[in-house]
Structure 1
Amino acid sequence: MDFFSNLLHLVLLCISFSLIFLIYKQKSTRAKFPPGKKGWPVIGETLEFGMAGKRGTPEMFINNRMSKYSQDLFKTSLFGENMAVFCGASGNKFLFSNENKHVISWLPPFLLKVTLPESLENISPEDSIKIRKAVVEFLMPETLQYFIPIMDSMAKKHLETDWSPYKQVKVLPLSMKYTFALACRLFMSITDPNHVTTFADPFALIVDGLTSVPINIPGTNFNRAIKAGKVIHQELLEVIQQRKKDLLSENNATVARDFITHTLLALDENGRSVMNDLLISSNIVGLLLAGHDTTSSAITFVLKYLADFPHVYNEVLKEQMEIARSKGPNDLLNWDDIKKMKYSWNVAREAMRLIPPSSGTFREAITDFTYAGFTIPKGWKAYWTPHSTHKNPKYFPNPEKFDPSRFESNGPAPYTFVPFGGGPRICPGREYARLEILVFMHNVVTRFKWEKAILDEKITCKLSPIPVDGLPIYLKPHNHIY
């Protein structure tokens, strides 16, 4: 009797598994996945994506597949993941509007390996929320207004030291030096050049590692990047510990007003610190990584286009000279001055339209959902990119033309100009980048005119697009003194 009972259970189990398999197979058959191809096993189309960046930007990779498969959505495989690439204004709107409903933010594991301490690689959603909240609060316009005079004084000193003594300079490395020094000042109150170098050198290794093949064996760029990340975190932890001591001292009223202090003083509803030292350190690394290369890239290409179009340069100079003449000899820029730089900001936005500082970011599907008639399964990754709209003639007529007037009046249609993303995950540093770019534009155009040393310099892409030779320019100082 036991034999027949066990046999019956076995038969029922087999039938159950068979039904589950048939239901799953039927469901998979009904699912209509986005058009496209996944490329090679494991590596997918990651190499093609990377090579498109080396030849300029991933724009070629995106446009090729949009024309071949769909203007709305196509599939690929990047970094070992099934990837749905959302295109056009509708695709941007869908991803930006469905955060935490259909998708959540996602980063490739190799990036986390380099930038986060090992104990934080599996960071909790609660800690992620704390991190973003701290960044958003610190980078609000109300807070950043305080830093405008600091940005101005540092820009003046940078141009006086690293530009004025020379007839020819390379814009990219100098803009990177300036933006990194400024970030060290505003985030950590580090002003000593030698101390800045202790962060800048390993940070350069991190950038090289993130744009290399992620193989973690001794001697590879990726391995050096992981080691450099550990060095930076150790340095940051020492700075944080010293700041804690400063806050406990009797003279804590004079403690620096920066991101470290902001996060150390932030308390939850129970009066406890919202972040531990490792989270603060990781936050700063994220700020440096997200803001340094992108802003340096934007500044570099703004100067490139100002050299290409003298009439645009003259309009920017006119606007900035009116501001300069309204100030006393020792007055620094302030919030009211920034609000007057409307044409200059249109120029910067047009530069970012043509050469976006960021090629996009990733999401992860947290449920099965349908978009444009195609099924995106739970666990798939999603990617949005400005390259599907910024040069699309549907949104920007004569898209290759440099035309700052596109941003006058109401400007471009929603979800078409997206250098900073959009929705709840919009780049929290967008206002910081705007101020940094405009302050630098003010100082450089009121001091110099310039010509490109290489007329048709090629563009490649690391974390952000860059001119391959660093944009060398010939400087022509103005004779006026304001």
Structure 2
Amino acid sequence: MYFFHASLVVLLCLIIPIILVKVLTHWNAVTRGKSSLPPGTSGWPFVGQTLEFLAAGWSGHPEKFIFDNIKKYRSLIFRSHLAGSPAAVFCGAAANKFVFSNENKLVQLWWPKTITKLIPSTSNFEESLKLNRMLNNFLTPKTLEPYIGFLDIIAERHFASHWENREQVTAFPLITSYSFALACRLLINVDDPELVEKLADPFEQVLRGTVSMPIDLPCTRYNRAIKASRFIINEFTTIVKQRKTDLEQGTYKSLTQDLLSHMLLTRDENFVTDYNIAEKIMGLIIGGDTVSSACSSIVKFLAKLPDVYERVYKEQMEIANSKSLGELLTWNDVNNKMKYSWSVACEAMRLAPPIQGTFREALTDFIYEGFLIPKGWKVYWSANSTHKSAEYFPKPEEFDASRFDGQPLQPNTFVPFGGGPRMCPGKEYARIEILIFMHCLVKRFRWETIIPNEKLIVDARFSPEKGLPIRLFPHPKA
């Protein structure tokens, strides 16, 4: 027994110092790490600063969360706790460049669980990369050029059905409907107004669910979004099955190749099942809905700024008056004759960016500006940190389309579509959609807002708080 106790004492004497050394080493590492973390706070238990972050958007001033923290900590990088995870918020052009240029090196795209459950295509990183590459190849100017006429037809039909012969409309829901119809035509070659209308409300439910509390109980916003997501995917699966049959039998005819047909004809291990393809199509259409935010802010600013409206009207009417009856817009019209209109659109997106920013996840520990960003932390880059900064845009709260009149901007300051390898692949399509919308609207109407000081708030995307009701004044018939 004595020998046993003696052996135990010796063993403990050997082990305890080793344990103490490891504990002290770990403590020192943690202490060093904490001392070099960015300044900031973790906020409330569990929720962190997520509610404060969202509340800034709901108030109509999403930049407030960013600039309040920059001022408080006197730093263009600060730590927080957002979407259930510790996060570092990166601000400014240099920070944007760092995040964009280190994509898939130090950081990779990350979505909160609320989004990955509603939009399953966001949950698989490798599939997402492959789909992004496919979109970059599909949504090129050369590919999009043949679509201009088709998109013009859909826009003309939309305005004839929902805007003309009305004294007033609520613009934002109509713009969302317009954007959704164009996406269905381009991505899956669906041009059935009844089917588009059937799917429109479920899509809106999914969008709203992406920024809801993840409580899956009956009658909650998140629960409705989950049901809507399943409904849409099932509807799209039916479309995918039918398209696959038509392609196999050689009965599918189209003047332009849509993305769905392209995916089916180039199917590989990443797009195995019909359901899998339907998930991805849904995710792409939801991602493209940001255009409705841009168009809504354009409508609001043009109502507020008559001088700007006059210049846009003059530019668009020169194009309209050059057309014979029934002649459609062309690539040359959109690409070369709407320069000022696009400057106006860009300034609207600067003041109300359709993408506020997105999250990345740190793939490894790294140092930025002397601060440690631990592996697994989320990194959030902010469009507003440059869009609303006087350092990059003098008098940032003023609308000034001349900022985009051809003079080069400082890189990584105007980022409504992100940047780097993860820049929105639909950027060129968004430009076309926005300009066709402006053309069809301005050549028909002047308008005034019914709620003059209606706020633009962030709830799933930048949108007018009350839907942007406007009073229409048709132009006299020539």
Q: TM-score normalised by the shorter chain: which range applies?
A: over 0.9
In the aligned structure 2, how far is the partner of 1:450 from the partner of 1:246?
A: 45
8 Å CA contact 1:71, 1:88 repeated in 2 = no
1:332 partner letter:
L
Which residue matches 2:441? Answer: 444
In the aligned structure 1, how far is the partner of 2:9 from the partner of 2:284?
A: 63
Which residue matches 2:472? Answer: 475
Classify 1:16/1:285 alpha carbon distance in 2 versus 1 (closer, same or farther; 3 Å): farther
Report the TM-score, using the length of structure 1 for normalisation. 0.93
Shift in Å, 1:255: 8.4
Which residue matches 2:87? Answer: 83
8 Å CA contact 1:457, 1:469 repeated in 2 = yes
Higher mean C-alpha deviation, range 212-221 or range 96-105: 212-221
In the aligned structure 1, how far is the partner of 2:372 from the partner of 2:340?
A: 44
1:82 partner letter:
P
Which residue matches 2:397? Answer: 400
Q: Are residue 50 (structure 1) and residue 46 (structure 2) matched? A: no
Which residue matches 2:116? Answer: 112
1:169 partner letter:
V
Which residue matches 1:22? Answer: 24
Q: Are residue 338 (structure 1) and residue 327 (structure 2) matched? A: no
Classify 1:12/1:240 alpha carbon distance in 2 versus 1 (closer, same or farther; 3 Å): farther
In the aligned structure 2, how far is the partner of 1:413 from the partner of 1:140?
A: 25
Which residue matches 2:324? Answer: 328
Shift in Å, 1:368: 0.7
In the aligned structure 1, how far is the partner of 2:11 from the partner of 2:439?
A: 80
Which residue matches 2:259? Answer: 259
Shift in Å, 1:57: 3.9
8 Å CA contact 2:63, 2:388 repeated in 1 = no
Which residue matches 1:363? Answer: 360
Which residue matches 1:299? Answer: 295
8 Å CA contact 1:263, 1:275 repeated in 2 = no
Which residue matches 2:315? Answer: 319
Shift in Å, 1:256: 6.7
2:291 partner letter:
T
Shift in Å, 1:3: 7.4
In the aligned structure 1, how far is the partner of 2:244 from the partner of 2:406?
A: 48
Summarize deviations over 1:293-319 as a string: whole Å, max 9, x none. x11111011011111111111111111
Classify 1:274/1:113 alpha carbon distance in 2 versus 1 (closer, same or farther; 3 Å): closer
In the aligned structure 1, how far is the partner of 2:419 from the partner of 2:291?
A: 18
In the aligned structure 2, how far is the partner of 1:430 from the partner of 1:16?
A: 58
Shift in Å, 1:218: 2.5
8 Å CA contact 2:234, 2:275 repeated in 1 = no
2:148 partner letter:
I
In the aligned structure 1, how far is the partner of 2:43 from the partner of 2:298?
A: 36
1:27 partner letter:
A
Q: Are residue 69 (structure 1) and residue 65 (structure 2) matched? A: no
In the aligned structure 2, how far is the partner of 1:267 from the partner of 1:121?
A: 19
Gap regions ≥5 residues in structure 1? none
Classify 1:370/1:465 alpha carbon distance in 2 versus 1 (closer, same or farther; 3 Å): same
1:191 partner letter:
D
Q: Please state whether the residue corresponding to 2:208 is helix, strand or coil.
A: helix
8 Å CA contact 1:89, 1:414 repeated in 2 = yes
In the aligned structure 1, how far is the partner of 2:283 from the partner of 2:19?
A: 47
Count of residues in Structure 1 that have an aligned counterpart in Structure 2: 473
Picking from 26, 38, 41, the partner of 1:37 is: 41
8 Å CA contact 1:264, 1:273 repeated in 2 = no
Question: Percent of aligned pairs with the same residue?
Answer: 47
Report the TM-score, using the length of structure 2 for normalisation. 0.94
State how 1:379-458 maps to structure 2 within 5 Å: 379-458=376-455
In the aligned structure 2, how far is the partner of 1:308 from the partner of 1:369?
A: 46
Q: Are residue 160 (structure 1) and residue 160 (structure 2) matched? A: yes
CA RMSD of aligned residues (A): 2.0
Summarize deviations over 1:107-141 as a string: whole Å, max 9, x none. 0011111111xxx7852x43222222222222222
Q: Please state whether the residue corresponding to 1:38 is helix, strand or coil.
A: coil
Shift in Å, 1:273: 7.5
8 Å CA contact 1:57, 1:465 repeated in 2 = no
Shift in Å, 1:5: 6.5
Higher mean C-alpha deviation, range 27-36 or range 101-110: 27-36
Classify 1:254/1:50 alpha carbon distance in 2 versus 1 (closer, same or farther; 3 Å): closer
Shift in Å, 1:275: 4.6
Classify 1:218/1:5 alpha carbon distance in 2 versus 1 (closer, same or farther; 3 Å): farther
In the aligned structure 2, how far is the partner of 1:10 from the partner of 1:337?
A: 83
Q: Please state whether the residue corresponding to 1:92 is helix, strand or coil.
A: helix
Gap regions ≥5 residues in structure 2? none
8 Å CA contact 1:166, 1:475 repeated in 2 = yes
In the aligned structure 2, how far is the partner of 1:105 from the partner of 1:133?
A: 14
Shift in Å, 1:19: 2.5
1:140 partner letter:
T
Shift in Å, 1:2: 8.0
Summarize deviations over 1:439-470 as a string: whole Å, max 9, x none. 11011111111112221112322111211121
1:103 partner letter:
V
Classify 1:262/1:48 alpha carbon distance in 2 versus 1 (closer, same or farther; 3 Å): same
Classify 1:160/1:19 alpha carbon distance in 2 versus 1 (closer, same or farther; 3 Å): same
2:153 partner letter:
S
